[in-house]
Structure 1
């Protein structure tokens, strides 16, 4: 049996830019990368042809968006600008530590997170009240190449915990994405039905029923 947790919006609250395009543009300009006048349009256009469910790393998207306007930006510079634009202020949500502790009493635990920004999951875990050492695996969409609800990200998470996908219980805040665990035979616990502070008791009920 394995348990995975969504990160953003479930265990953690973070301050994200209200206008991501502007935040990225500010960091690009700080690195002497010209920003086109229609950057808002360029940022929202699709520039990378990817399979359904695949994750497109935001630095790749930004580099292609600039290229579409004739701006040749060094990919590392685009990456640094994106990472800086999304540098997080982190708040650990009430009940997060208790939920992780309860899950660990029953089996291996993972973070399974949608995130297109490199380093963001790692930086968040460094600043949270729990860290990388408190879980057995961290699977992010930018790392594995697939976004929830794609079954592949849940299969990667189960494999990282050395359990079968159908043995995975996933805790999250969004049925549209986190509910994808059901496509591999796993079970979802949603915060809209079970508040985070009640997740430990819910996990105990589910896991004891499976023993």
Structure 2
């Protein structure tokens, strides 16, 4: 049995900015970028016509929003501002590493995370107590282009684990997104941060 894990809310808890638009604006200003007066409105409006289920990288969204406000800074500044705005404080869920190792004793293990911010998953893992080497593959929506519950997101991690989605068990904390694997033919195990310690026994039950 191949297993993939969600990251945020499942293996780790992360404090997000309470006002993402303001956090991004502050970082842009710190890099010398002029922020339009109607920034909150621009940030909250979709500017990129993406296919259903596709991930829009947050730097691309911010770039498009700034362009609507007649501001066009270098893309590298936008990317840096977005990454800095979401620089994470991380708390690892008790039992997270044990759950990953229990899955690894059954078969290949992957990480599948919805995340529109480049580098955020990597930074989160570095600051967590999770051994990144325990994963056979790490797939993010910003890298593969598709967000859970779109089947193409689950197919992306399944391909890396050399299995089909029907052979994949996905562990996550959100029925609407992580649970979408069931509509794609796979198995879903719901496990948020408090309940992840029960996973080793639950893996044995479905092995």
Q: TM class by shorter-chain length?
A: over 0.9
Determine the structure 2 residue equivalent to 1:118. 118
Aligned to 1:71: 71
SS class of match (1:175): coil
Shift in Å at residue 132 of structure 1? Answer: 2.2
Give how far 1:130 is off.
1.3
Deviation at 1:183, TM superposition (A): 2.2
Q: Does 1:143 align with 2:167?
A: no
- Corresponding residue of 2:190: 190
Q: Which residue of 1 aligns with 2:106?
A: 106
The 2-side partners of 1:142 and 1:135 are apart by 18
Q: Distance in 2 between matches of 1:29 and 1:204?
A: 52
Report matched runs for 1:17-96 at 5 Å: 17-96=17-96
1:159 aligned onto 2:147: no
Runs of at least 4 residues of structure 1 off by over 6 A?
Answer: none
* Residues 54, 147 of structure 2: 8 Å contact kept: yes
CA distance in 2: counterparts of 1:201 and 1:157, whole angstroms:
24
Q: Distance in 2 between matches of 1:167 and 1:106?
A: 12
Mapped partners of 1:154, 1:34: distance in 2: 39
CA distance in 1, matches of 2:120, 2:44: 21
Shift of 1:134: 1.3
Give the CA deviation at 1:191: 2.1
1:35-80 CA-partner distances (Å, limit 9, x unpaired): 1111000000001110000000000000000000111111111000
Q: Distance in 2 between matches of 1:5 and 1:191?
A: 10
Over the aligned positions, Cα root-mean-square deviation in angstroms equals 1.0
How far 1:197 moved relative to its partner?
1.1
Aligned to 1:200: 200
Q: CA deviation at 1:98?
A: 1.2
Report Cα offsets for 1:69-121 as digits up to 9, x if no partner: 11111111100000000011111101201110100000000000000000000
Report the count of equivalent residues: 206
Q: Does the CA-based 8 Å contact 2:97-2:131 persist in structure 1? A: no
Report the TM-score, using the length of structure 2 for normalisation: 0.97
2:149 equivalent to 1:132: no
TM-score, scaled to structure 1: 0.95
